A and B are shown apart, each in its own frame.
Chain A
Amino acid sequence: MIALTALVLVVAVLVLVCLFALMDQYRTLEEVRDHLGTGDAPRPLTHPVGPIVASEIGLPASLDGAEHAVVLFLSTTCATCATVARSLRGALPDDLHVVVRTPTTGVGAEWCDDVGLRSGTVTLATDDRIADAFGLRVTPAGFVLSHDRIAAAQTVPSPRQLQALLDQRAQLAVGPPPANTAPDADGGRSWITT
């Protein structure tokens, strides 16, 4: 019996060593990625503070007044955007809306087909109207909209960061603005960084 217990102890310690070795390998991988600058930590983005009425800038009216929704900006010219789009596998969560920046609707529709997005479920933006309203400078980028205001904005450098953004959207949601909210300085074009 003692011999058997000793054997189990040896096996348990070996498994422990293997677990630690695995963790050490992944830690080394993270260090290599940090050194090479290929990590996928999202960067916060500056964005306008004022209200954004989705339907007025060409986004679906269903986003108007939404408690929380994520607007994901992708571009037909960005390889990471294609990777992020493919990770959705054509199935968009109810509160995720995708805006594809594209030179023409034809190019945008073709790109959507390539990455598995049904073009009818996304907004193809051929001009800067939507992007300007969000203060967009880089894609892929995600904005959490809550009661017509941007609650958070960040780059989405990988599919898992998109998932992380979707996971935290409810936590980032802000309460509805008070009814007597005064207009923001600069005509609602003040900027903040989340």
Chain B
Amino acid sequence: MTGVLATAVQLAAAGILLVAAAAKAAAPGRVATTIRSIGLRPAAALHVALVTAEAGAALALVLAPGALATRALVLALGLSFAGAGLLAHSRGTAIACACFGGRDGHPLGLRQVVALPGWVVAALVPAASPLSGGDGLLALTAVATGSGVVLAAPVLGTVRRSRPLVAVAAS
């Protein structure tokens, strides 16, 4: 039972990281703006590093959940998210999170700090029954495909909202 729960937690964390990495890869401008806004440089390189780290952590959580490197990477990501949230909160200005790329307009702040325990659990949960390489990749593929299907509906809504417009004209 513990093994199933641990696998579920790690798969969920991997899914979130994979979707976040894809979203950040698709909106480099917004993520770089967020990185610059919290005072970090160079934004472009940090953006690439962040996307790589998130995607790598997602893969590692599935393929080698018990490895020390995996735990360290997930923990480092969780801490960096919380640190960014604290930095933004301490500045007192609203900085767009861009946690999930362009579609995430929520402000960076205490939300990321509150999420830290979740990342700690995902990093430290015992990996009682790690998935095999094939099963792990299959699970991650399912997560990516499922996320795509779930995201397709909002995309259609956005396309519908953005049909050609004409301005209001008073008679």
Contact = CB atoms under 8 A, between A and B. Distances in A.
Are A and B physically bound partners?
Answer: yes
B138 to A, nearest CB: 5
Contacts of B103: 20, 23-24, 27
B12 interface: no
Contact of B25 (A17, A26, A37): A17
A36 to B, nearest CB: 9
B119 to A, nearest CB: 21
Interface string B19-38: 10011011100100000000
Nearest to A73: B171
Contact of B148 (A19, A28, A39, A160): A19
A132 B144 CA distance: 57
A5 interface: yes
Contacts of A28: 102
Interface size class of B (residues with CB under 8 A): 35 or more
A13 B137 CA distance: 12
B167 A5 contact: no
Interface in B124-171: 133-134, 137-138, 140-141, 144-145, 147-148, 151-152, 154-155, 158-163, 165-171
Interface in A9-41: 9, 12-13, 15-24, 26-30, 33, 37-40
A2 interface: yes
A75 to B, nearest CB: 4
Contact of B158 (A5, A23, A80): A23
Contacts of A81: 169, 171
Contacts of B101: 20, 23-24
B168 A27 contact: no
Given A12-B148, A13-B18, A80-B166, A24 B27 contact: yes
A146 interface: no
B155 A157 contact: no
Contacts of B170: 78, 137-139
A129 interface: no
A146 B154 CA distance: 33
B151 A27 contact: no
A61 interface: no
Contacts of B134: 1-2, 5
A21 B26 contact: yes
Contacts of A30: 161-162
B148 A15 contact: yes
A176 B160 CA distance: 35
A79 interface: yes
A139 B166 CA distance: 13
7 cross-chain pairs, A with B, having the tightest CB-CB distances, nearest first: A24-B102, A20-B26, A75-B171, A12-B144, A21-B26, A16-B22, A157-B168
14 contacts: A6-B137, A12-B148, A16-B151, A18-B26, A20-B23, A20-B101, A22-B155, A26-B158, A27-B103, A29-B162, A78-B169, A80-B168, A157-B165, A158-B163
Given A23-B101, A26-B158, A80-B167, 14 more contacts: A2-B133, A5-B137, A13-B18, A17-B22, A20-B26, A20-B101, A21-B26, A21-B27, A24-B26, A30-B161, A33-B165, A40-B168, A80-B169, A139-B170
